[in-house]
Chain A
Amino acid sequence: MGIIDVHAHPSLDDDPFGMMKEMLRVAGWFEVEKICLLGDVLRFGGNPLPWQIRAINNLTIALVKEWPDHLVGFCHLNPLHDKRFITEELERCILKEGFSGVKLEIAVNAADARNDFLMEEIEKLDTVLVHHAWDTSIIGNRAHQSDPEDIALLAHRFPKVRILMAHITSASQRGTLAIKDCLNVWTDTSGGQPVAGTVEYAVSILGAERVLYGSDIPGRDFSAQIGKIKGARLRASEKKLIFRDNAKTLFRLQ
């Protein structure tokens, strides 16, 4: 069974193609067949400028063109930017390049109304939003970071937009409960340490259909992150959903 990793980042370092080649080589050892590239989203800090957004997306476009069978592109955006720029970048990445969704990081909190224009555009395009989330009671900075509760508020306001909330390990039980009733929210297992019980809990609350495997590589490794799913006390059919089938359905992958 080929695994689909829904959470990975390329790097704008000196040799981005060399790094991606290495990532794909290592992915092969773990039967990871496809990798969703969310952009080098923190390369320029939490509030990137338009030219920086273009540079991030240019790299993703170039990498996906180089390895179209293995990489799935996502368009990184900053909701604070001019509406025209946002529209142009969406057209470039989603319509022209066929990217599978939009990635938002920490420019603004997910519950902030300044996301609205972008959310309306995402809804029109019928694409997926992948949104970073973490427990801000621990890391602070809620003006920019988003709690799972903020994702839930966003999901309630835009019930037609499919949202993948990243990092269920950080969301923990409280965050899992926060998104339970938002049927347009899925979550990924990426990032954080392989804390035992996290995946089983998410499945028990959300159902296996709403949990997707992700790694957050290259800061993380396939080994520790895949081990979370392999080690979880779940049925083989549930693991298959998490490793592969849910991503195919959510992102409408071939």
Chain B
Amino acid sequence: MIFDVNAWYGRWPFQQLNVDTPALLKKKLIKAGITSCALSSTDAVLVSDPDIWNTRLFSEVRGDSFFLPVPVFNPCLFSWERMLEEYQKCGVRAVRFLPGYHSYTLSDIRSIRAVERVYALGMLPLIQIRLEDERSQHLLMKVSPPSVDEVIAFAKRIEAVIVVLAASFFDACRIGIETKNVFVDISYCERMNLLASMVRSIPVSRILFGSHAAFFYPESAVLKLLRAELDKNSKELIGHITADSLFTTVSKGG
């Protein structure tokens, strides 16, 4: 079983994603070997009211246990607290923050307050570090990711809150040494014999499977996991056990 914490569908102005419905993405992920995913809408990222697309996401995946819908959330919106309460009422189990795309930093008090509120409401905060590699972004769409130092400082300010970091580079592994409340996905991490290298810096119990589909070929992340030089238990932890536990425990109030 593989649970993907970093999956997207929709349209994106700088890449032809070819999966503008959850059904198309599901087909692609299943073919790659992924059995369920935390899904967000790319369309929700660049509009001023993400709920236009979040609502559509909820409606499109309702009743399909393959998907765990994760709304794109902007804590800079005036009505952010009300939005979170609505998500909670809808049974949402995780909320996705995109600091770079919504022009705030993790040191911003709004980030701290919002992440703490998300967690207090029984939802898991996912911090999306990037959607595109900075070395391939459009000239007019340069979006800087939070730095590793910024993430570490942020994590230390919210020590009682568990956060998931999606799409960080391999250097984010040092977050594993310097913090205790941050989990990282493997979608953007890469180097020779990746997972064996990662577990030298970050406990295996804090590594999660993420594909970053439909931006990426999901087969790449699946190969990272399946061909990893790790024992079966470690692969299962990364593949789904840790994520299953995180998404369930948090929603039950920690």
In angstroms, Cα B192 to Cα A23, docked, is: 8
Overall SS of chain B's interface: loop
- In the complex the two chains form, is A227's CB within 8 Å of B136's CB? no
CA distance A227 to B33 in the complex (A): 12
Task: Name the distance in Å between B19's Cβ and chain A's nearest Cβ.
Answer: 9
Would you give the shortest CB distance from A221 to chain B, in whole angstroms? 5
What is the CA–CA distance of A74 and B92 in the complex, to the nearest angstrom?
54
Pair count A-B, CB < 8 A? 105
Counting chain B residues whose Cβ lies within 8 A of the other chain, the interface size class is 20 to 34
Residue in B15, B191, B214, B215 whose beta carbon sits within 8 Å of that of A220 in the complex: B191
1/0 contact string of B211-254 vs chain A (CB within 8 Å):
01111111111111001110000000000000000000000000
Interface residues of A, dominant DSSP: helix
Indicate whether A68 reaches chain B with its CB closer than 8 angstroms: no
Q: Mark A164-187, 1 if CB is under 8 A from B, else 0.
A: 000001101000000000000000
A226, closest chain B residue (CB): B223
> In the complex, are the beta carbons of A223 and B139 less than 8 A apart?
no
B215 adjacent to A227 (CB under 8 Å): no
Residues of A within 8 A of B193 (CB): 22, 26, 221
Cβ contacts under 8 Å, A139 to chain B? 135
Contact assessment for A195 and B136 in the assembled complex, using a CB-CB cutoff below 8 Å: yes
A residues neighboring B (CB under 8 Å)? 22-23, 26, 29-30, 134-135, 137-139, 169-170, 172, 192-197, 217-228, 230-232
- B residues apposed to A, CB below 8 Å: 15-18, 32, 133, 135-137, 139, 188, 190-194, 212-224, 227-229
Known pairs A193-B136, A195-B136, A223-B223 / 11 extra A-B pairs, C-beta < 8 Å = A134-B135, A137-B139, A170-B135, A192-B136, A193-B188, A195-B133, A196-B217, A197-B15, A220-B190, A226-B223, A228-B219
